């Protein structure tokens, strides 16, 4: 293979078309739209010289993965993610205010403005980060799942990572332990086709990342990530397996990021046509169209979209108006 795959992994399944209500779909659409608007606002602030420092990795184009997967989980299940995790935190219930204030380095941010974009963490919501070391969080997710099994608390851990992480030692160790100890974890590879500027075919000898499960006798799945209901149903199956039999699953969701790897990446390694082709499969447009097909009135959709706009405008203002983070680190435990 020499070009990133754009063909569908499989045809649409009628089960996904039937298996939803307007209310549920509207709720998921609202979450995806809020994540997109929040990240667009972050990109704008980043470009306005110095409002957001450090790295900023956006998930725009991939929203259906974190939203669909989290919708299939219980509120107290654990989520562990990478540096591309604003959407995962939001889907887990963290407010846009807390996320944007964190990106701005403000005291009111999720981790008091000291972590920034790559280090969101919310113990109360069981959102266990936000990690900058590619693949390094997979053993951490295995550890969280081990704790759940040990305590018999019934929780499942969802671990998100990119296809590039699947070539990393930390990934190999985490997957091996998850399989060996039968840990209740769902390993979700968001295959967005590129690791920074490196296309999948230049880093992996096979295009199917989920095949790596076979080496461990682990269950696996692989499907397109542009339909939020499909993501919810298929990840839901893996969550059910983890919860009832304590068996892990490696799930590969084929998706695409519309923007560069981070804000400093103009994405010159791919053609405009390629990006356009994937934009035609935008998960938000797909979801919106489905809402129209299910009979949601234009006025209702516009009301929902205005509500999201207001939420994000409020969050930007909150981040702008908040005081900066403390200059030193006062949160060290004093012994
Ligand atoms: C161990 C390690 N090696 C290299 C990097 C630099 N790096 C940051 S992101 C990235 C690409 C990872 O791609 P992928 O896992 O596919 O995730 P994506 O960014 O596409 O979501 C690399 C190589 C890093 N952060 N950690």
Segment 225-240, tens digit of pLDDT: 999 999 999 999 999 9
Q: How far is 146 from 167, CA to CA, in rounded Å?
A: 23
In a domain, 333, yes or no: no
Does the C-beta of 134 come closer than 6 Å to ligand 1? yes
Classified as helix, coil or strand, 255 is coil
Contact 91, 63 (CB under 8 A): no
pLDDT tier at 45, thresholds 50, 70, 90: very high
Domain count, the chain: 1
CATH code: domain of residue 260: 3.40.50.970
Q: Are strands 198-199 and 194-195 parallel, antiparallel or unpaired?
A: antiparallel
Does the C-beta of 195 come closer than 6 Å to ligand 1? yes
Residue 180: phi, psi to the nearest 5?
Answer: -60, -45
> Tens digits of per-residue pLDDT, 316-333?
999 999 999 987 665 555
Does the C-beta of 164 come closer than 6 Å to ligand 1? yes
Q: Are strands 78-80 and 194-195 parallel, antiparallel or unpaired?
A: unpaired
Q: How remote is the CA of residue 253 from the centroid of ligand 1, in Å?
A: 17
- For 284, the token pair is 């938000």
What mean pLDDT value characterizes the chain?
94
* pLDDT over threshold 80, residue 271: yes
pLDDT tier at 8, thresholds 50, 70, 90: confident
Residue with tokens 């500027």, as numbered in its chain? 197
Does the C-beta of 192 come closer than 6 Å to ligand 1? yes
Does the C-beta of 20 come closer than 6 Å to ligand 1? no
> Tens digits of per-residue pLDDT, 63-76?
999 999 999 999 99
In a domain, 187, yes or no: yes
* pLDDT over threshold 90, residue 175: yes
Atom of ligand 1 nearest to the CA of 190: 21
> What confidence score (pLDDT) does residue 1 get?
44
The arithmetic mean of pLDDT across residues 3-15, rounded, is 75
Does the C-beta of 84 come closer than 6 Å to ligand 1? yes
Chain CA centroid to CA 320, Å: 25
Distance, first Cα to last Cα, the chain: 57
Angle in degrees, 0-180, between the axes of helices 283-293 and 298-321, rounded to the nearest 10: 140
Q: How remote is the CA of residue 318 from the centroid of ligand 1, in Å?
A: 31
* pLDDT over threshold 70, residue 4: no
Residues in the chain: 335
> Tens digits of per-residue pLDDT, 190-222?
999 999 999 999 999 999 999 999 999 999 999
pLDDT tier at 255, thresholds 50, 70, 90: very high
Residue with tokens 């840990």, as numbered in its chain? 183
Q: How far is 329 from 230, CA to CA, in rounded Å?
A: 44
Residue nearest to atom 18 of ligand 1 (CA): 162
> What confidence score (pLDDT) does residue 327 get?
74
In a domain, 102, yes or no: yes
The model's pTM is 0.96
Q: What percent of the chain has pLDDT over 90?
A: 90
Atom of ligand 1 nearest to the CA of 133: 26
Atom of ligand 1 nearest to the CA of 166: 15
> What confidence score (pLDDT) does residue 2 get?
44
Does the C-beta of 132 come closer than 6 Å to ligand 1? yes
- For 260, the token pair is 């560069």
Atom of ligand 1 nearest to the CA of 136: 1
Q: What angle do CA 51, 56, 61 make, to 5 degrees?
A: 125
Atom of ligand 1 nearest to the CA of 59: 21
Q: How far is 88 from 77, CA to CA, in rounded Å?
A: 13
Residue nearest to atom 13 of ligand 1 (CA): 195
Does the C-beta of 165 come closer than 6 Å to ligand 1? yes
In a domain, 326, yes or no: no
Contact 72, 291 (CB under 8 A): no
The arithmetic mean of pLDDT across residues 48-77, rounded, is 96
* pLDDT over threshold 90, residue 11: no
pLDDT tier at 5, thresholds 50, 70, 90: low
Note down the domain range covering 84: 14-319
Strands annotated E in 119-240: 157-162, 185-191, 194-195, 198-199, 219-224
């Amino acid at each position: 293979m020499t070009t990133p795959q754009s063909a569908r992994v499989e045809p649409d399944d009628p089960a996904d078309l039937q298996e939803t209500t307007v209310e549920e779909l509207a709720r998921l659409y609202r979450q995806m739209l809020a994540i997109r608007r929040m990240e667009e606002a972050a990109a704008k602030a980043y470009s306005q010289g110095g409002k957001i420092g450090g790295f900023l990795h956006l998930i725009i184009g991939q929203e259906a993965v974190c939203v669909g997967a989290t919708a299939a989980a219980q509120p107290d299940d654990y989520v562990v993610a990478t540096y591309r995790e604003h959407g995962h935190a939001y889907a887990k219930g963290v407010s846009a205010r807390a996320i944007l204030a964190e990106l701005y380095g403000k005291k009111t941010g999720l981790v008091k403005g000291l972590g920034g974009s790559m280090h969101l963490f919310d113990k109360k919501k069981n959102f266990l980060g936000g990690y900058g070391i590619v693949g390094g969080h997979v053993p951490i997710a295995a550890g969280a799942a081990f704790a759940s099994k040990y305590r018999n608390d019934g929780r499942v851990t969802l671990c998100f990572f990119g296809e590039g992480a699947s070539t990393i030692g930390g990934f190999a160790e985490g997957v091996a332990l998850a399989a060996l100890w039968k840990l209740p974890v769902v390993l979700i590879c968001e295959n967005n086709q590129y690791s920074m500027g490196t296309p999948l075919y230049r880093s992996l000898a096979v295009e199917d990342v989920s095949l790596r499960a076979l080496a461990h006798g682990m269950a696996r799945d692989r499907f397109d990530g542009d339909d939020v209901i499909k993501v919810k149903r298929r990840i839901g199956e893996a969550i059910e397996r983890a919860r009832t039999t304590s068996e892990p699953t490696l799930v590969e969701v084929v998706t695409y990021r519309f923007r560069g790897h981070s804000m400093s990446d103009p994405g010159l390694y791919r053609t405009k046509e390629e990006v356009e082709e994937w934009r035609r499969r935008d998960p938000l447009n797909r979801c919106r169209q489905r809402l129209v097909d299910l009979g949601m009135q234009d006025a209702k959709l516009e009301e929902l979209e205005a509500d999201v706009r207001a939420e994000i405008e409020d969050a930007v203002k909150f981040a702008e108006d908040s005081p900066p983070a403390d200059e030193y680190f006062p949160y060290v435990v004093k012994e």
